[in-house]
Amino acid sequence: MLICAAWQLSPLESIALPRAYGLELVKILHGKMGLTLGDETVPSTSFAGLLGRSHGSGDFISFDPEETYELSLCGLTPDSSNRILNLDLGEKLAFLGANFAITDRTHTLTSYEQLYTEQVAQDPEPLREFTLKFLTPTAFSQQRLHLPLPVPSLMLRSWLERWNHFAPVYLGGDELVQYFGEAIALKRHQIRTRTHPLQRGYLNGFVGDVTLQALNRADPLLANVAHLLVNYSQFSGTGMKTRLGMGKAIPHENAAEAASTHLCRPDSPS
């Protein structure tokens, strides 16, 4: 089972939190689910916290009681998905002295088998263009460097590695990534860099809209595999630190809804 759950939150008063509040919040959520944060080589959860209109000043972020914010938590295994499905936050979320009313909860459920059957095994007419909206800073680890750019092969490798680690259907390894590097191109983007605060320091990442293009020479079956991985990204996240709030993306089908609710981080100096 795969799940992506979202809670709608409203501050009970004007709230200022440290920019690195996300680490404390994700620890609280994992504690409520009985999961230990950071004990997995490949994270079985992805997280994005308090997305919405907020204002940054110095080391703090301010949240307005007239606004609504979204907390997102996704599971990539049956165990983590069931724990998220059964996670009851009650009517109020309190942490670091702040109080948010929980006004709604929604979730999307699917499975690896369902995604593979619908988007690959049934041999649908292949799409040649895939658009994603990146809502939280996204970056890739390159040895000792961090690359805040939407490189198609790095995006697809990120999704493929998570899929192969957790899914019952193996899609392919380095040869497939190499093929994607030759057959999937960056068609257009509208991105900017933002910083993601960590317990110590910051990481730069990109946010915004990215469109990938399967070239005409791309095999239809492998174009469908690429489409499968693009859709999987909404559960897995993209790139590094996805369990800590980075790499949250919404595929094209849901991008308009994400844009309409202003799911973004406050501007930060890069």
Mean pLDDT score, 211-223 = 95
Does residue 259 carry a pLDDT above 50? no
Structure confidence at residue 253 (pLDDT): 60
Q: What CATH number is given for 2-260 in this structure?
A: 3.30.70.1900
Question: Higher model confidence: residue 157 or residue 201?
Answer: 157
Q: Does residue 252 register a pLDDT over 70?
A: yes
Task: Provide the 10 A C-beta neighbour count for residue 203.
Answer: 20
Calpha distance 63→115 (Å, rounded): 37
Q: What is the mean pLDDT of the chain?
A: 92
The two tokens of residue 153 are 């092969």
Quick one: average pLDDT of 127-148? 94
262 or 208, higher pLDDT: 208
> What is the mean pLDDT of the segment spanning 146-168?
97
In the predicted structure, residue 61 carries a pLDDT above the cut 50? yes
Q: Does residue 176 register a pLDDT over 70?
A: yes
pLDDT in tens, 17-38: 999 999 999 999 999 999 988 8
Residues 6+ apart with CB under 8 A from 213: 128, 129, 184, 185, 186, 187
Average pLDDT over residues 30-48: 93
Q: For residue 257, what are its two tokens?
A: 């809804």
Is a pLDDT exceeding 80 seen at residue 255? no
Give the CA distances from residue 205 to residues 30, 43, 72, 189, 202, in Å, rounded to whole numbers and listed in that order. Answer: 24, 19, 19, 14, 10
> What are the structure tokens assigned to 166, written together?
């957790």
pLDDT over threshold 70, residue 254:
no
List the beta strands (DSSP E) in 79-165.
92-95, 98-110, 129-138, 140-142, 145-147
pLDDT of residue 146: 94
Contact 222, 113 (CB under 8 A): no
Predicted pLDDT of residue 49: 87
pTM for this model (two decimals) = 0.91
Q: Break the chain into its structural domains and give their ranges.
A: 2-260
Which pair of structure tokens corresponds to residue 264? 């973004």
